[in-house]
């Protein structure tokens, strides 16, 4: 167990925090994070953290606002308890898709959340697969940005025939990610081009690349309502794909997502546990959940020891 380090968590994803702490050979820091009868959050650290290097593991997934508030209050409590350094470990960064003004009179919410975390007293941030890489620049403190690619690649290499596999980007924005995966696997690349020919007419899905008779894997950073993924899957089947699978880092799976995936031609949905998924796994047997616990534990260990973590970025 590393000296002078503590792992603490709120209620967002205790299972992941326990897994990380287990890899590091230590118990979780004893803390009470609960809610008063009026809905306000109460945080109390039940052990001495003075002079320690504390890592707060808290993905800001649903309920997003509640989990963000827990994170902020834990950070504030640690700062006031004289922790030497506080690192916010945020496997899934909520509000990441609101990273710019896409229309008049709207906030840049991901910047505001970054400001809140900084003002609360975090000294640095460890996060994974940000929806927009430039969010790192929203922070005035160091940000270590991990990728789930090594975890996903290991599984794909051992369960799929790379030569017969086509990695598919479901939209133009994800092409770079899909190209990197395809290159590392030695697989082909295809792109879904969505366009609406005219108003009130359904989107037409063009497939750029050869998928006929091939096993395809739709790759994205987030699957939220599942609309983009399932429409892409249907388009691939219509263009002669032998099979369709999907993979992503963050399985948000809100609204009709589970129903859409269950009713789609997708055989397997490979995801990571940046977000708790126990109940959703029961509802959707297509989900294959891979753990990022060891990756996070190694990153935390290296940050604590002040050694390079750049080798974990690829």
Cα–Cα dist 7/257, whole Å: 33
Cβ contact 273:290 at 8 Å? yes
CB 245 within 8 A of CB 266: yes
147-162 per-residue burial string, b: 16 or more CB within 10 A, e: under 16: bbbebbbeebeeebee
Q: Are 84 and 41 in contact (CB under 8 A)?
A: no
Backbone phi, psi, residue 6, to 5°:
-135, 145
Catalytic residue from among 194, 286, 288, 301: 194
For residue 275, report the phi and psi dihedrals to the nearest 5 degrees.
-125, 140
Is 288 an active-site residue? no
Q: What is the DSSP string of 180-243?
A: HHHHHHT-EEEEEEEE--STTSPPEEEEES--TT-EEEEEEEEESSSHHHHHHHHHHHHTT-SE
Which residues make Cβ contacts (< 8 Å) with residue 231, sequence separation at least 6? 194, 203, 205
CB of 164 closer than 8 Å to CB of 214? yes
Cα 249 to its chain centre, rounded Å, is 5
Q: Tell me which residues are annotated as active site.
A: 194
């Amino acid at each position: 167990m590393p000296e002078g380090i503590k792992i603490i968590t709120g209620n967002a994803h205790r299972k992941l925090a326990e897994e990380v702490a287990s890899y590091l050979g230590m118990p979780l820091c004893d803390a009470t994070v609960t809610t008063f009868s009026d809905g306000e959050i109460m945080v109390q650290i039940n052990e001495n953290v003075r002079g320690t290097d504390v890592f707060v593991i808290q993905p800001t997934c649903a309920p997003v606002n509640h989990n963000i508030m827990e994170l902020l209050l834990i950070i504030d409590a640690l700062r006031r308890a004289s922790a030497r350094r506080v690192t916010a470990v945020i496997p899934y960064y909520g509000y990441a898709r609101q990273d710019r003004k896409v229309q008049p009179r709207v906030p840049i919410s991901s910047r505001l959340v970054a400001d809140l975390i900084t003002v609360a007293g975090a000294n640095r941030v460890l996060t994974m697969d940000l929806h927009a890489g430039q969010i790192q620049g929203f922070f005035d403190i160091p940000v270590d940005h991990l990728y789930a690619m090594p975890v996903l690649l290991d599984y794909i290499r051992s369960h799929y025939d790379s030569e017969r596999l086509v990695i598919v980007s479901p939209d133009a924005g994800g092409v770079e990610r899909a190209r990197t995966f395809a290159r590392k696997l030695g697989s082909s690349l295809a792109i879904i081009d969505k366009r609406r020919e005219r108003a009130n007419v359904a989107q037409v899905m063009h497939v750029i690349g050869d998928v006929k008779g091939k096993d395809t894997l739709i790759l994205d950073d987030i699957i939220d309502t599942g609309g983009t993924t399932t429409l892409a899957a249907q388009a691939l089947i219509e263009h002669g794909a032998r099979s369709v699978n999907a993979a992503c880092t963050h399985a948000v799976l809100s609204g009709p997502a589970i129903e859409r995936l269950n009713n789609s031609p997708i055989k397997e949905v490979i995801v990571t546990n940046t977000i708790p998924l126990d109940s959703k796994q029961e509802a959707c047997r297509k989900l294959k959940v891979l753990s990022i616990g060891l990756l996070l534990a190694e990153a935390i260990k290296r940050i604590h020891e002040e050694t390079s973590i750049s080798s974990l970025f690829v």
